[in-house]
Amino acid sequence: MKKKNIFNILAGLLMLSVVSCQSKLEDLYLDPDGFTNPDIQGFYTNTQQQLGIFRYSYGEMFHNFNTLNPILGSGGFQNDGAPSSFSWVHDPYSDAYSKLRSIAAMQQVYNGLSEQDKNDYEIFMWTAGAIKEYIFHQLTDVCGDVPYFKAMQGAELNFFPPFDKQSEIYPAMLANLKEISTNLKGYTLNGSFIQQQFTRNDVYFNGNITKWRVFINSLRMRLALRLTNVMPELAKSTIQEVLADDEYAKDRATSITLVDRRPDQAMELLIFRSLSERLTLRLFVPANMLNLMRKTGFADDPRIPVIFQPDKDGNYTAMPTEAPDVAAIASQITTTNLAATFPSFYNRTTFERNFGMPYQIITSSEIHLLKAEAKLRWADLTITAADEYRAAIKESIDIYYEINALNPDNQYNGFIPASKAVKPPDATINTFLDQKVAEFNAAAAGEKLGLIYDQRYIHYNMLKPYELWADTRRLMKELGPRVRKSPSNVRMMERTVYPTSEELNNPVNFQAVKASNNYTTPVWWTGR
Amino acid sequence: MGGVIQKRTSEWTSRNTRSDGFITRDWFSFSNAKTTPVESNGFRRYSLLYGAFGSVQVGFKEWLYLELQGRNDWSSILPPANNSYFYPGASVSWIFSETLKMPAWVSFGKFRVSWADVGRPGPEYFSNNVYDIGNYGGVITYAPRGSRPPEDLKPERKREVELGLETKFFNSRLGLEVNYYNGNTYDQIMGLSVPPSSGFGDTKINAGQISHSGIEVFINATPLKTGSFNWNTVLNFHSDKPMVKKLAQGITTQGLWGMSGARVVAVEGQPWGQVVVRPYKVNENGERIVEGGYYSTDPTKEEVIGKVLPDIAGGFNNTISYKGLSLDFNIDYQFGSTLVSQTNMYMVGNGSAASTTAYRDEAHGGLPYYINNSSTLVLLPSHTSGVPADSKYPFIMHDGVILPGVQPDGKPNETIITAADKHSYYWQTFMDIQPDIVYKNDYIKLRNIVLTYELPKKLTNKIRFDRLAVSLFANNLWYIYKTMPNVDAEALNGTNVFYENNAFPTTRSYGASIRASF
């Protein structure tokens, strides 16, 4: 009896220790810093807040200034006249697919939901679909043919998507955006817990469905205009549809802008640090831009003091474009004291450490210029080109003054007092606008397109390189050197190369794009 | 019998502020930082493994030995349902020189065979399906990770059979050792890289199979042993052939390394580490196609032109001694590997390779031509031709090249280019790796020589040393044979990197040393 008891006790202790060992192992199985139970809302907000979609990110802009400013003539630099070679450290390709990962995760969760929950979550899915197209249009504009229809299916073990033609991606993006826009027309959020969360998780537009429609329709117009060389019918019909729908960016209130919600991290993560670091290398006032803003016989463009800041002598001076002209002023160039430079820089108060500035996603100025161009192409559209042209310039002036005035930083010793610009009275601005409109009306048809391009060049400047780059490449077919603002020794970069990882890991499909894996083959929609 | 408890813990925490410095100088405290907030970052990794093992050894008459092993592990890395696994092993060795009647010149003979199965749980958290959490302006965010986790993780297994023969002859003056092994790793735990367009950077698998089979041979001998003169030598070679038997999840090719135009790959059913490049464009007759005066690679084709691992490698080590004087020298060799050499590409491209003297003038095979007013290069019949009337310059040139080959329409190439353009073509923005900068990397190398003089005992005793030896040595002395031009055959750009680009050569060193013992 005693022996049996001892045996039972021992067996019991052994059992206990086995159980405790097993539970210790189980406790350590999961990464203590990993989260196991995510939801669609969290993926959705993560999609929106990723750097480089709506918020211009430090790393990306740091490399964009270096590569794109000389190519687009949007940033003055000490041009040495050497023939340009191509390189762009930013890898938009891998970047785009990694941004799409949260949307793919949303889709996975969504696929497993009940019908009721699917209905409630569709607003998340539709608007995420619009963000997906926004990411894809940026990607295909710089890479041409990319995996689109079968991309992002790794979770289903489809690891090797084929490269889709840009000529098929563009109509598909437009069709999808049209469908989303139609779905959202008249849509209102219901009282369900899920839909009520949309207003909080939608950090772009706070659940404002109308704002989403404005964004989507404006994006449709942007995408449509890319097709003027290659699918003019689709371009025209899309623009007509959006005009008829009448919800798109028309003024400041409907411009799609975003104010960042993490000002504490903005200096490190967003455009501001890249500006500080590239100032003396790529952000002098570019001569071609300043010359357009200060034409003989015209009043000075009111944007000069908000986009640029004065040099050491209080003048707005530009870095010359061509190497011999740079060499001629070499002895005068000074950046030792950043508050007293020669020539002038971009306006540091407008663009640097301005953590509350609205990021310009699709502004009314862009759409006004787009409509003016559309009228020149399709005379039957109900648009007055000159009015759009005027509104574009006026609203561009307004938004840059608005941004300049928003900078709360009065302490930073990098700012010079003159970079806090004072907006001229309306009368002065109107005089300027009248002159610009008169110039536009007097111009021949081709030159009107050129003048519209010039306004894009000023409005986008170094801040929106992708839009300026796309319009430049598109218009080069019709306008040639008229839209080239770069030095003569800087060749046009038509696209960027694919990352080696795609060639290495998707080699069979990669054959389809291998021949255009360079910087010089124009993408399909250029028509060149 | 025995047991193991293995606990691994790594914790890393960092706190930092931005580089604006301190409020008061030289006081190293976060509360003295000019910039707030203080950022904090870190990770934690823990794992736990219990193991219980036992082994039995049995000997029979001192010529036959049997060993049996068994081990069971429990690991926290594996999912709770699969976290226990057992692996056994066995080996037999037979000293046949003790049992079989051998000729007198056979001093020793042993044969052994072993079989083992080993299990491994892989890295921590390998199969966790977890997400990163964060917040943006107070709203919770979840971010998927770039790696696709495996569905149901099992331990990785390696099963290996090894046969070995160890013999000594002529009073141990000659020894021969031969080992053959055949191992198969299955249910392999590894990450496979996938294209970014799939939505992942890599997918984690638990199903790969890679086999290794190989042979190792050691011959050691004392060819000369006459009183005060001795020569000992060891010759060894090994040949290892890793084969990719199976990958997983529909992936049949794995890129190990790559740059534009060249890849090193592991392909199912083929040797591991093949080098793949795009070949030059050729027509159906195999003739090189020349476009605009230049060759180009064919973007639609790829071909395997070698593998990164050698077929055989080994060494030849010698010690020759005479009284107190001894000479050691060691020779290494490898044959059968292939290497992409970007140094050679750039050397040709920038004109610093000796081969770029070709065509630079008449003496180096350059062709005569002139440049006409529309900047076209025109071939001339002779280097003594006069300057034609439509020449842009008042002289003719002597560095023309017409690359052998045909135009796309099949006619012989007649386009003349300059020697400088021919060579600098190798250094253009975003150019593919060209097949002719991929080299066979065979070599025989005299790795080191050591000459030692050991002072006689009589002398060392007098100065109260037990032993005193003086040596002269030299390392990395001489490539007796080498197929790679211009660069060191061993200068790779790090481990697991299968190319060469301006890597530092191994350093040659000379020196002297004194070794003394009291």
Could you say which of B134, B198, B254 has the minimum Cβ distance to residue A154?
B198
Which residues sit opposite B253 in a β-bridge? B267
Same domain, yes or no, for A301 and A396?
yes
Same domain, yes or no, for A369 and A475?
yes
Asked if the Cβ–Cβ distance from B199 to A38 is below 8 Å, we say no
- The answer to whether residue A150 sits within a structural domain is yes
- The answer to whether residue A269 sits within a structural domain is no
Asked if B111 and B93 count as a contact pair (C-beta separation under 8 A), the reply is yes
Residues 6+ apart with CB under 8 A from A74: A68, A286, A289, A457, A460, A461, A462, A465, A468, A485
DSSP conformational letter for B384: T
Same domain, yes or no, for A309 and A218?
no
- The answer to whether residue B234 sits within a structural domain is yes
CA distance B77 to chain A (A): 5
Which ipTM was obtained for this model? 0.92
- The answer to whether residue B271 sits within a structural domain is no
Pick from B38, B73, B197, B302 the residue to mutate for testing the A interface (most A CBs within 10 Å): B197
Distance between CA atoms of residues B50 and A108, nearest Å: 37
- The answer to whether residue B393 sits within a structural domain is no
> What is each CA distance from A341 to A284, A314, A333, A407, A420, in whole angstroms?
10, 10, 7, 22, 17
Same domain, yes or no, for A441 and A299?
yes
- The answer to whether residue B345 sits within a structural domain is no
With beta carbons under 8 A apart, name residues in chain B contacting A85: 429
With beta carbons under 8 A apart, name residues in chain A contacting B136: 45-46, 48-49, 203, 261-262
DSSP conformational letter for B293: T
Name which of A201-215, B125-139, B264-278, B420-434 the model is least confident about. Answer: B420-434
With beta carbons under 8 A apart, name residues in chain A contacting B37: 264
Helical H segments across A226-297, by residue range = 232-245, 263-269, 271-282, 287-293
- Closest by Cα among B468, B481, B477, B472 to B448: B477
- The answer to whether residue A389 sits within a structural domain is yes
With beta carbons under 8 A apart, name residues in chain B contacting A154: 148, 194, 198-200, 203
Asked if A166 and A525 count as a contact pair (C-beta separation under 8 A), the reply is yes
Q: Check residue B493 and give its pLDDT.
A: 66
- The answer to whether residue B189 sits within a structural domain is yes
Name which of A335-349, B233-247, B456-470 the model is least confident about. Answer: B456-470
Distance between CA atoms of residues B192 and B189, nearest Å: 10
Reading the block at residue A355, the tokens are 């953590």
Same domain, yes or no, for A473 and A505?
no
Reading the block at residue B213, the tokens are 């089979």
Residue with tokens 């409005």: A459
Parent domain of B117: 2-251
- The answer to whether residue A99 sits within a structural domain is yes
Reading the block at residue B240, the tokens are 């290892």
Asked if the Cβ–Cβ distance from A97 to B193 is below 8 Å, we say no
Same domain, yes or no, for A314 and A440?
yes
- The answer to whether residue B200 sits within a structural domain is yes
How much of chain A is in helix, strand and coil states, percent to nearest 5? 60, 5, 35
CA distance A294 to chain B (A): 38
Same domain, yes or no, for A323 and A453?
yes
Parent domain of A427: 72-82+278-496
Kindly state whether B227 is in contact with chain A, defined as any CB-CB distance less than 8 angstroms: no
Number of domains in chain A: 2
- Closest by Cα among A436, A446, A485 to A465: A485
Could you say which of B124, B128, B260 has the minimum Cβ distance to residue A503?
B260
CATH number at residue A95: 1.25.40.390
With beta carbons under 8 A apart, name residues in chain A contacting B50: 21, 25
Pick from A514, A519, A521 the residue to mutate for testing the B interface (most B CBs within 10 Å): A514
Asked if A497 and B430 count as a contact pair (C-beta separation under 8 A), the reply is yes
Distance between CA atoms of residues A393 and A433, nearest Å: 7
Asked if B193 and B255 count as a contact pair (C-beta separation under 8 A), the reply is yes
Asked if the Cβ–Cβ distance from A154 to B194 is below 8 Å, we say yes
Could you say which of A85, A155, A518 has the minimum Cβ distance to residue B148?
A155
Q: Which amino acid is at B400?
A: G
In chain B, the residue whose alpha carbon lies closest to the alpha carbon of A84 is: B429
What single string gives the DSSP state of each residue in B2-41? EEEEEEEEEEEEEEE--TT-BSSTT---GGGBSS-PPEEE
Helix (H) or strand (E) holding B246: strand B229-246
Asked if the Cβ–Cβ distance from A506 to B251 is below 8 Å, we say no
CA distance B298 to chain A (A): 9
- The answer to whether residue A18 sits within a structural domain is no
Query: If you count DSSP H runs as helices and E runs as strands, how many of each does chain B have, helices first?
Result: 4, 31
Average pLDDT of chain B, as a whole number: 90
Could you say which of A21, A264, A497 has the minimum Cβ distance to residue B37?
A264
What single string gives the DSSP state of each residue in A444-470? -HHHHHHHHHHHHHHHHTTT-HHHHHH
Asked if the Cβ–Cβ distance from A30 to B128 is below 8 Å, we say yes
Number of domains in chain B: 1
Asked if A208 and A188 count as a contact pair (C-beta separation under 8 A), the reply is no
Q: Check residue B29 and give its pLDDT.
A: 85
User: Which strands form B367-371's sheet, in the order they lie side by side?
Assistant: B377-379, B367-371, B397-401, B417-418
- Closest by Cα among A393, A396, A402 to A421: A402
Using a 10 angstrom Cβ sphere, with 0-12 exposed, 13-18 middle and 19 or more buried, the burial of residue A277 is middle
With beta carbons under 8 A apart, name residues in chain B contacting A103: none
- The answer to whether residue B211 sits within a structural domain is yes
Asked if the Cβ–Cβ distance from A42 to B18 is below 8 Å, we say no
Query: Measured on CA atoms in the order B376, B379, B383, B386, is the torsion positive or negative?
Result: negative
Q: Check residue B430 and give its pLDDT.
A: 59
Q: Which amino acid is at B461?
A: N
Same domain, yes or no, for A399 and A505?
no
Q: How confident is the model at residue B177 (pLDDT cuts 50, 70, 90)?
A: very high
Q: Check residue A430 and give its pLDDT.
A: 97
Please check the confidence at residue B426 and state whether its pLDDT lies above 80. no
Asked if B360 and B349 count as a contact pair (C-beta separation under 8 A), the reply is no
Residues 6+ apart with CB under 8 A from A30: A36, B125, B128, B130
With beta carbons under 8 A apart, name residues in chain B contacting A33: 43-44
Query: Measured on CA atoms in the order B366, B367, B373, B375, is the torsion positive or negative?
Result: negative
- The answer to whether residue A12 sits within a structural domain is no
Share above pLDDT 90 across residues of chain B, in percent, rounded to a whole number:
60
With beta carbons under 8 A apart, name residues in chain A contacting B141: 42-43, 45-46, 49
- The answer to whether residue A491 sits within a structural domain is yes
- The answer to whether residue A202 sits within a structural domain is yes
Q: Which of residues 263-282 of B touch A (CB under 8 A)?
A: 263
Which ranges of chain A have pLDDT less than 50?
Answer: none
Distance between CA atoms of residues B362 and B360, nearest Å: 7
Residue with tokens 């050991």: B454
Q: Which of residues 411-470 of B touch A (CB under 8 A)?
A: 429-430
Pairs of CB atoms within 8 A across A/B: 201
Reading the block at residue A244, the tokens are 């008829």
- The answer to whether residue B489 sits within a structural domain is no
Same domain, yes or no, for A450 and A482?
yes
Same domain, yes or no, for A353 and A222?
no
> What is each CA distance from A177 to A54, A129, A151, A171, A371, in whole angstroms?
18, 8, 18, 10, 19
CA distance A39 to chain B (A): 8
Distance between CA atoms of residues B8 and A521, nearest Å: 53
With beta carbons under 8 A apart, name residues in chain B contacting A43: 141-144
Same domain, yes or no, for A349 and A247?
no
- Closest by Cα among B111, B113, B115 to B69: B115
Q: Which of residues 114-133 of B touch A (CB under 8 A)?
A: 124-125, 128-133
Asked if the Cβ–Cβ distance from A46 to B134 is below 8 Å, we say yes
In chain B, the residue whose alpha carbon lies closest to the alpha carbon of A149 is: B197
With beta carbons under 8 A apart, name residues in chain B contacting A499: 196
DSSP 3-state of A417: helix
Could you say which of A36, A514, A517 has the minimum Cβ distance to residue B130?
A36
Using a 10 angstrom Cβ sphere, with 0-12 exposed, 13-18 middle and 19 or more buried, the burial of residue A45 is buried
Distance between CA atoms of residues B390 and B372, nearest Å: 5
DSSP 3-state of A505: helix
In chain B, the residue whose alpha carbon lies closest to the alpha carbon of A197 is: B139
